[in-house]
Amino acid sequence: MIAVALKGLARRKLRAALTALAIVLGVAMVSGTYVFTDTTEKATDTLFTGAYTGSDAVISGQKVVDTPTSGAATVPAALLGDVQALPGVEAVSGGIVDVARLIDHDGHPISLRDSAIGFSVDASQDRFNPVRLTDGRWPSGSDEVAIDAGTAAKEGLAVGDTIGVAARKPVRRFTISGLARFPRVDSIGRLTFAIFDNPTAQAFFGKRGRFDEIYIAAKKGVSPQELVRSIEPILPAGARVLTGDAEVRAQSAGTNKDLAVVQKFLLAFGGAALFVGAFVIFNTLAITVAQRTRELATLRTLGASRRQVLAAVLLEALVIGALGSAVGLFAGVGLAKGLNALFAALGSAVPQTGTVLAARTVLVSLLVGVLITLVAALAPAARATSVPPISAVREGATLPRSPFAPYAPYIAGTVVALGLGLLGAGLFAPGLGVSTVLLLSAIGCLALFVGVALVSSRLVKPLASLLGRPAGLLAGAPGRLARENTVRAPARTAVTASALMVGIALVTFVAVLGHALRTSVGLAVDGVVQADYVITADDGVGPLTPAVADALAPQPGVETLSAVREERAKAFGADERVAGIDPTTIAAVMSFNWTHGSQKALALLGADGAVVQGAFAGDHHLNVGGSFQLTTAQGKTLTFTVRGIYAPPRFDPVLGPIAISQRSFDASFERPQNALTLVNVSGGPSAEQASALRRALKTFPEAKLRTKAEFITLREKEIRNLLQLLYVLLALSLLVSLLGMINTLALSVFERTRELGMLRAIGMTRRQARRMIRHESVITALIGAALGLPLGIFLAALVTRALRSEGVVFSLPAVTVAAFTLVAVVAGVLAAVVPARRAARLNVLEALQYE
């Protein structure tokens, strides 16, 4: 039976290849995800390891707050001498690490804020230097900088040229003294860096007399642990010391955690592609078994047992799954490069080094692909065992009806109910963790998809009658035949349409939910911001020097100007955003919906007052007059009294949950920066007024003037970028379903060879044959869309309802939904190209003789 199964596969090469391709794409996504994230993790680990080259121990400030706007806590530069005097210390050097964006000659930022690093080097202590020169020399003096060689190559810069650098002050121009690169990595992604000597960096970043880190090398015979123990007694409050290896682990932990999230995110789409692929495999094997009824019956007549027939069909599936998984495994290596390019196109390029193909990647990819194939093949294989031997001598023998057929509606209803129950529990049950919610929702969605697929065979006839009517009107007899062909085998049509249904349902879900989120952001921001213009950093998230607001204040026509500072601090054990506002102007440009207190609360802020959001107050049982403490990134503890409580939109409140006076903010936080500058102008916004304000901002290339509408669009940017990423990833599932349609149509043409020959013999032209197959494909695709679109909208409405308490409102993008219907039609046309050509090219005489 093994030989029979393998020979059967060899006779059906194209069919087997198309079936395997569905597995190839899903496994490639799984493999590519692992390769992409593993390679990125190795590259980032290499960067962090290189950053502490030669350091047996590293002193830095205690980490109180994650990603503070003003930078991490620093340590006194005087500590350098105390460390150097320790008996176990061989060498010591201080360093500055901060954000520094490179600015081109036209005043446009070259680098993005979250990937722009500025740091210092001590040329006399090269052992601690993480980078290597490729040209020129290390900077020396207050007007020199070294930059990364990659940026220099892209921007056409060379040693001796000048370049602008922006930190937390207005842009300064420096002369490029050298070009450098990180060793042992192929690419640093979108990362850029600017290097200064220590005195210049301390002055430029506002850290005179301070260092961000102190690097220490031990004398021979002194272990890193011994070195750390000798340093600990001389550390000032707020400082810590770790071994070099421990510092690398601490620095890379956050990045690796983010990569783990990305990995799970991408694997979910690989799982979706495999889920769709399972429909394709099931349908292909089911059709193949049905077409081989007489062949299987002959095997039974010759003595093959049910178990042997079952094993033969499963062996075919095993071979297809193994070959598809093996090809998908190595295709994933190429897909990983595609994922890297995709993230780069979305502005999130990551560091890369030599490709990492881990043993885990090989094992999981092969195992998942083979198991999915075998599970999808179980039902067709079991059906094959029910072929009676007598079918070998019957003309037109068909498979006997499944014993479960009478119970199909009840099974389908049970599965749908189970899916809805799991979705409801995941989205609406209180007290569940994020992981539990995601798991229940994912299983519920899968169950719902399977349940709808099971019941869809009963919907094929009415849907085909309705959706196929235009085909009959436009194409005449071929269109009517196409409609009848789709209902001839409703189970087959249903499974084919269901594969497309899953893809369209997921795309529709993403589109509808994304539109709801964007609408919610727009409503929230429109209700809070009352300013004519908003000035933010060009990327919309970074801080700006307060000098930006100072430059705008004296401009003609400026009626009200209110800057909003922002920083992160620890409150009640969690990181919270803290806003610094001007009590005298903020009410003119922002709206506050007071629940406790009134507008007078702003005037009462003083040096220790705060207004807080209702959710924050409720979570921590705060009332007007109550007090709470904040701890800054530098370890300073502050006490504030609640003067008022307001209720902003939950989805995008614009301000952080805590707001204090600007005077108190500047006294509490080091290097204060603005997040927003809100401006009202006399007479309202105008082109002339906007031009005048932009001229005032010319010396601040990072600052961007936006109208209120443009600011709302900016706040929606992250959602739009996420939607673009999701659409690209979901395209893989749609591609798999397209392959399934091609496979089904090709098998259908093969099955109906004599019928097509008869139609050609009685006068059907080649063009009409192509048209019939094409319309059959389009009707099937429209059935998939008719099932998938409502399902996707329903899922989005369900999630929106669950998020209603967070300020999310349901909004249906009618144009987008209509466009997805058009996509289904195009998918149907594309899927029919090859099968339609084959049907049109059949030799009439040979087709009439075909059995």
> Nearest CA to 653 among 602, 715, 600?
715
The predicted model gives 510-536 an average pLDDT of 91
Q: What confidence category does residue 601 fall into, taking pLDDT thresholds of 50, 70 and 90?
A: very high
Residue range 454-466, pLDDT digits in tens: 888 888 889 888 8
Looking at residue 203, what is its pLDDT? 92
Does pLDDT of 86 surpass 50?
A: yes
Token pair recorded at residue 690 = 């906007």
Indicate the Cα dihedral angle 380, 384, 385, 391, nearest 10°. Answer: 160
**Helix (H), strand (E) at residue 654:** none
The mean pLDDT of 744-761, rounded to a whole number, is: 75
3-state helix, strand, coil split of the chain in percent (to 5) is 60, 15, 25
The 8-class DSSP code of residue 539 comes to T
Asked whether 453 and 501 are in contact (CB, 8 A), the reply is yes
Q: What is the DSSP letter of 189?
A: T
Q: What is the mean pLDDT of residues 1-17?
A: 61
Q: What is the pLDDT of residues 642-654, one digit of tens each?
A: 999 999 998 889 9
- State CA 700 to chain mean position distance: 32
| Cβ(282)–Cβ(453) below 8 Å | no
- Strands 574-581 and 658-661 turn out to be parallel
Q: Which residue has the tokens 């690209």?
A: 728
User: Cβ–Cβ contacts within 10 Å for residue 221, how many?
Assistant: 7
Residue 747 to residues 454, 770, 799, Cα–Cα distance (Å): 21, 15, 39
- More confident site: 625 or 748: 625
Mean pLDDT is lowest, of 528-542, 563-577, 745-759, for 745-759
How does residue 157 score in pLDDT terms, banded at 50, 70 and 90?
very high
Tokens 């039974």 identify what position? 300
Cβ–Cβ under 8 Å, residues 35 and 29: no
pLDDT at 112 over 70: yes
- In the predicted model, what is the mean pLDDT of residues 146-150? 91
Q: How confident is the model at residue 748 (pLDDT cuts 50, 70, 90)?
A: confident
CA angle 471, 474, 480 (to 5 degrees): 40
Q: Select from 443, 215, 342 the least CA-distant residue to 721.
A: 342
Q: Which of 165-169, 192-196, 562-566 has the lowest mean pLDDT?
A: 165-169
Three-state secondary-structure class, residue 32: helix
**How far is Cα 368 from Cα 383, in angstroms, rounded to an integer?**
24
Can you give the pLDDT at residue 457? 83
Look up the pTM and report it: 0.82
Chain segment 168-178, per-residue pLDDT in tens: 777 899 999 99
User: In a 3-state reduction of DSSP, which class is residue 349?
Assistant: coil
Tokens of 206: 């506002």
Could you tell me the pLDDT band of residue 299, with boundaries at 50, 70 and 90?
Answer: low
Q: How far is residue 637's CA from residue 570's CA, in Å, rounded to a whole number?
A: 9
User: How is residue 352 annotated by DSSP?
Assistant: B
Cα–Cα distance list, 818 to 91, 296, 397, 785, 825 (Å): 68, 45, 43, 10, 11
| Count of other CB atoms within 10 angstroms of residue 82 | 16
d(CA 433, CA 385): 45
Please tell me the predicted confidence (pLDDT) of residue 393: 45
What is the DSSP-derived secondary structure letter of residue 31?
H
Where is pLDDT greater, at 592 or 803? 592
What is the average pLDDT across 209-213? 93
Give CA–CA dist 545/702, Å, rounded: 10
* Residue-wise DSSP of 38-97: HHHHHHHHHHHHHHTTT-SEEEEE---SSS-TT-S--EETTHHHHHHTSTTEEEEEEE-E
One-letter amino acid for residue 722 of the chain: L
Bridge partner list, 180: 133, 148
Q: What is the average pLDDT value for the chain, to the nearest integer?
A: 85
Instruction: Tell me the per-residue pLDDT of 411-438, one tens digit each, with 9 for 90 and over.
Output: 888 888 998 898 888 888 887 777 788 7
Residue 236, H or E segment: none
* Structure-block tokens of residue 824: 């289904």
702: pLDDT confidence band, cut at 50, 70 and 90? Answer: confident
pLDDT range class, residue 722, cuts 50, 70, 90:
confident
Convert the pLDDT of each residue in 18-33 to its tens digit.
677 778 888 888 898 8
The secondary structure of residue 354, as a DSSP letter, is S
pLDDT for the residue numbered 392: 45
Cα dihedral across residues 443, 449, 450, 452: positive or negative: positive
Interatomic CA distance for residues 518 and 541, integer angstroms: 17
User: What does the block give as tokens for 229?
Assistant: 């123990």
Question: What pLDDT was estimated at residue 611?
Answer: 96
For residue 216, what pLDDT is reported? 94
End-to-end, the C-alpha distance of the chain in Å comes to: 24
Looking at residue 544, what DSSP letter applies? Answer: B
662 — pLDDT class (breaks 50, 70, 90): very high
Q: What are phi and psi of 277, to 5 degrees?
A: -60, -35
Band (12; pLDDT cuts 50, 70, 90): low
**Model confidence at 481, in pLDDT bands (50, 70, 90)?**
confident
Q: What percent of the chain has pLDDT over 70?
A: 91
